[in-house]
Amino acid sequence: MERGQQKWVPVLRPAARKKSIAMPFTTLDLIALAWFIAAWGGYAAHVEFVPKQKKSLNQMMNQYRLVWMQRMLNREARMVDMQVMATLVNGTAFFATTALFAIGGSLTILRSPDEMLSVLATLPFGAPTTRLAWEVKAVGLAVIFVYAFFKFAWSYRLFNYVAILLGAMPFEKDKDTPEAEAHVQRTARLFEAAGRHFNHGQRAIFFALGYLGWFVSPYVLMATTAAVVFVMWWRQFGSDARRAMDV
């Protein structure tokens, strides 16, 4: 290039520039995603933080965790308590393993997006989508399952800590001492934290099922999200299990 000669820089036309920065999602997709996030956050806040006249099933279980710890002080033989604790730990490990398999499954659909898109096009409610949008949705699904795994893994660890505190529970002859009462309270609080993180992981699994509707269309995502919220709300406040706690 000769001295003084300016370097040629390609200039995009307005249409080409607009195409180069185009979003992979439509406005309706973004609205559906916002509805999904708001439903998840709103349900979690309603169940855990908003004061209610009728307690949720989870809140009532927290009360019985404290009752369990208090009555455990009156038992000298505590083999049954440790067996129940082992069952809770094993159940949490099962869900953590399931979340790992779900992460692998959600990443697998990234390997053949063209085949997936061709199948989606044959569905009656399937909305046309791009390969980039499909891949972003798949990554989002994997992120939800990663979140669930971390919640289950931390819950598993907390349940192990609770098992240690159960082993350190004061003897029956010391049940009326201040140290025994303090130990019951700290064990119940740790027990509650373990159950809360387990509930968060399970909630993520349920919402991941609703998220699957986005692969079909944003309308299906909004419908499946609403269905998931209704089912979980019904189980916490209107199910036969909840009514049984009022007896």
DSSP string, 147-163: HHHHHHHHHHHHHHHHH
In a domain, 48, yes or no: no
In a domain, 95, yes or no: yes
Question: Do 112 and 183 form a contact (C-beta atoms < 8 A)?
Answer: no
The 10 Å Cβ neighbour count of residue 170 is 17
Q: Give the tens place of pLDDT for each residue, 73-104.
A: 888 778 888 888 899 999 999 999 999 999 99
* Cβ partners under 8 Å of residue 218, min gap 6: 26, 28, 29, 31, 32, 33, 127
Instruction: Decide if pLDDT at 15 tops 50.
Output: no
Q: Give the tens place of pLDDT for each residue, 19-69.
A: 444 567 788 989 999 999 999 999 999 888 876 677 888 888 988 898 988
Write down the pLDDT at residue 59: 87
In a domain, 45, yes or no: no
Question: Do 137 and 120 form a contact (C-beta atoms < 8 A)?
Answer: no
Total count of domains within the chain: 1
Host domain of residue 229: 59-244
In a domain, 39, yes or no: no
Q: If we measure between CA atoms, which residue out of 97, 95, 92 comes closest to residue 162?
A: 92
Write down the pLDDT at residue 140: 93
Q: Give the tens place of pLDDT for each residue, 168-221.
A: 888 888 888 889 899 999 999 999 999 999 999 999 999 999 999 888 889 999
In a domain, 143, yes or no: yes
Write down the pLDDT at residue 9: 46
Instruction: Decide if pLDDT at 10 tops 60.
Output: no
Element (H, E) at 2: none
Write down the pLDDT at residue 12: 47
Write down the pLDDT at residue 155: 96
In a domain, 30, yes or no: no
Which tokens sit at 244?
């049984």
3-state helix, strand, coil in the chain (%, to 5): 75, 0, 25
Q: Give the tens place of pLDDT for each residue, 147-162.
A: 999 999 999 999 999 9
Instruction: Decide if pLDDT at 16 tops 70.
Output: no
Mean predicted confidence (pLDDT) in 215-233:
93
In a domain, 14, yes or no: no
In a domain, 35, yes or no: no
Instruction: Decide if pLDDT at 8 tops 70.
Output: no
Residue 240 C-alpha from the chain's centroid = 24
